[in-house]
Amino acid sequence: MVSSVLSNFVLSNLVLSDVAKPNIVKSASDRREYRFVELSNALKAVLVSDSSATLAAAAVDVRSGSANDPDDVPGLAHFCEHMLFLASVKYPVEQDYDAFLKRHGGFSNAFTADSHTNFYFEVLPESLREALDRFAQFFIAPLFSVGGVAREMHAVDSEHAKNLQSDAWRLWQLGRSLAAAGHPHNHFGTGSLQTLNRTGVHSELLRWYGDHYLSHTMTLAIVGAEDLDTLQSYAADLFSAV
């Protein structure tokens, strides 16, 4: 059984963007099957077949995060993470991805760290391929609409406002501020209207995505009830265009 907790545990421990070809070791009691593959575009994938799974899951980890923000646009990596959820060329209706997952017993989330950005979801097993198709479009052809940019920066600002009420977040940012000037840790990664609401941010966003969302910096993980050959075909068919 792949529960929500187990799905996220498996994905968080296997989605490693800086590995070459890992030797996957499992316990004798683990009935799942595992496979590591590298697609034609150099995107790495870890596949997990669990015939008894009641939920399927997937994640993509991108080896770039808020430490890669331009000095003059703090929060751009986090803002880009938000924007990818809205729409794509193939699925242009905003929020189609989240709506699909909700209709099929799933959910999604993401986070932006200093050195990487991680996106993940879970869904009922029979809907895995359709969910993966929508998910793949984040990394193939997202729609960075001007209207979406204007709206989503307010969502980022709301998240920043929420963080201001948290002692843990304030201490974390204080630690960043005390780092040496010019050190990658000395930055503001969340973003706000003050840092994002600026002339040219749409062009900056497109440039940042093009420079950092590259197939060879990504690792995909899929957990599903299908056999490994089928999961590999999903990965190749849906993510080779990244």
Active site residues: 81
Q: What is the distance in angstroms between the CA of the first residue and the CA of the last residue of the chain?
A: 31
Residue 64: phi and psi, rounded to 5, are -160, 140
Residue type, 75: G
Strands 56-62 vs 107-112: parallel, antiparallel or unpaired: unpaired
Q: Is 233 helix (H, G, I), strand (E, B) or coil?
A: helix
- Closest-CA residue to 109 (of 100, 98, 120, 95): 120
Contacts of 168 (CB under 8 A, 6+ apart): none
